[in-house]
């Protein structure tokens, strides 16, 4: 099939960017979206035009490295029957003659590095602030010493499947990272091992979230609708409950 691509080109973070139009003539429906971009880059290289920079690594939908806004939607949510990452979107969802617009994640906390590549290290800083259980290597008790109810363990797991791609931030009109933050809070809050630091964790993570340029959450829900791992909006409710509770309970540590 023939596909017309309109691609955001931006030489570097400070440079002025623009949409450039490219034509691909023999896209096969078995190809993944990123293989289609590989094909574009081979074509551009042959024409001595610098290839389009975009991030991808595992191409199995699990590492969270890829992320492109496709026709206005992070990961091209609307072209795919199920929520997916960009790398798992396949060309069978497109049609001959389609015009496809491709842009980077756009959010205050994610400065553009080049073309479709953005800097998402702010997400790491939120985790570094408290998204963990403080247990040094070697000090762990026997795994079966603390049973965890299956229902809650499953809930923890559902939240822990977040891949940190940042689509939620890109989708949010406020550029909020609340779904990402709440996924980690929910993961650890549902496990017995996560209880001792539960209140301190949520305060510290929210403080880091706000300090790193993410916007506030207004419960719009765009985030959950594009999440390739279907992290539910209720995670944010869990975060808010924990946050409010933490404000009324002394835990011996300030955020």
Q: Map the footprint of another protein across residues 70-99, applying CB under 8 A.
A: 80, 82, 84, 88, 90, 92
Q: Does 117 bind another protein (CB under 8 A)?
A: yes
Q: Does 246 bind another protein (CB under 8 A)?
A: no
Q: Does 61 bind another protein (CB under 8 A)?
A: yes
Stretch that binds another protein, among 1-9, 154-162, 167-175, 210-218 (CB under 8 A): 154-162
| DSSP structure class, residue 71 | T
- As a whole number of angstroms, the distance between CA 60 and CA 71 comes to 22
For the bound state, the minimum distance from the C-beta of residue 235 to another protein, rounded and expressed in Å, comes to 14
- As a whole number of angstroms, the distance between CA 174 and CA 171 comes to 9
Contact criterion met (CB below 8 Å) for 112 and 10: yes
Q: Does 179 bind another protein (CB under 8 A)?
A: no
Q: Does 128 bind another protein (CB under 8 A)?
A: yes
Q: Is the dihedral of CA 87, 8, 69, 4 positive or negative?
A: negative
Among 4, 21, 23, 121, binds another protein (CB under 8 A): 121
For the bound state, the minimum distance from the C-beta of residue 220 to another protein, rounded and expressed in Å, comes to 26
For the bound state, the minimum distance from the C-beta of residue 246 to another protein, rounded and expressed in Å, comes to 18
Per-residue contact flags (x/-) with another protein for residues 17 to 56, judged by CB under 8 A: -----------x-xxx-xx--xx--x--xx-xxxx-x-xx
Helix (H) or strand (E) holding 117: strand 117-118
- As a whole number of angstroms, the distance between CA 67 and CA 120 comes to 11
C-beta of 28 vs 247, nearer to another protein: 28
For the bound state, the minimum distance from the C-beta of residue 88 to another protein, rounded and expressed in Å, comes to 5
DSSP string, 188-199: HHTSGGGSTTHH
- As a whole number of angstroms, the distance between CA 63 and CA 60 comes to 8
Residues in the chain: 255
């Amino acid at each position: 099939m023939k596909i017309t691509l309109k691609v955001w080109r931006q030489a570097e973070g400070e440079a002025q960017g623009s949409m450039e139009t490219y034509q691909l003539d023999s896209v096969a429906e078995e190809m993944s979206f990123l293989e289609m971009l590989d094909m574009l880059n081979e074509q551009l290289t042959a024409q001595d035009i610098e290839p389009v920079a975009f991030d991808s690594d595992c191409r199995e939908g699990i590492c969270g490295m890829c992320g492109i806004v496709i026709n206005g939607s992070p990961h091209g949510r609307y072209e795919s029957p199920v929520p997916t990452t960009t790398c798992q979107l396949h060309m069978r969802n497109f049609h001959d003659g389609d015009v496809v617009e491709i842009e980077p994640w756009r959010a205050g906390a994610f400065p553009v590095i080049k073309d479709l590549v953005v800097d998402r290290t702010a997400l790491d800083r939120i985790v570094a602030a408290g998204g963990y259980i403080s247990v040094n290597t070697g000090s762990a008790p026997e795994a079966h010493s603390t049973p965890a109810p299956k229902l809650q363990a499953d809930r923890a797991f559902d939240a822990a499947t977040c891949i940190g791609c940042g689509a939620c931030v890109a989708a949010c009109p406020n550029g909020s990272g609340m779904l990402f933050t709440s996924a980690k809070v929910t993961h650890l809050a549902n496990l017995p091992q996560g209880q001792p630091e539960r209140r301190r964790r949520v305060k510290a993570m929210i403080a880091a979230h706000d300090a790193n340029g993410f916007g506030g959450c207004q419960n719009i829900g765009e985030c959950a609708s594009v999440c390739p791992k279907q992290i539910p909006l209720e995670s944010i409710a869990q975060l808010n409950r924990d946050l409010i509770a933490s404000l009324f309970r002394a835990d011996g540590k300030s955020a």
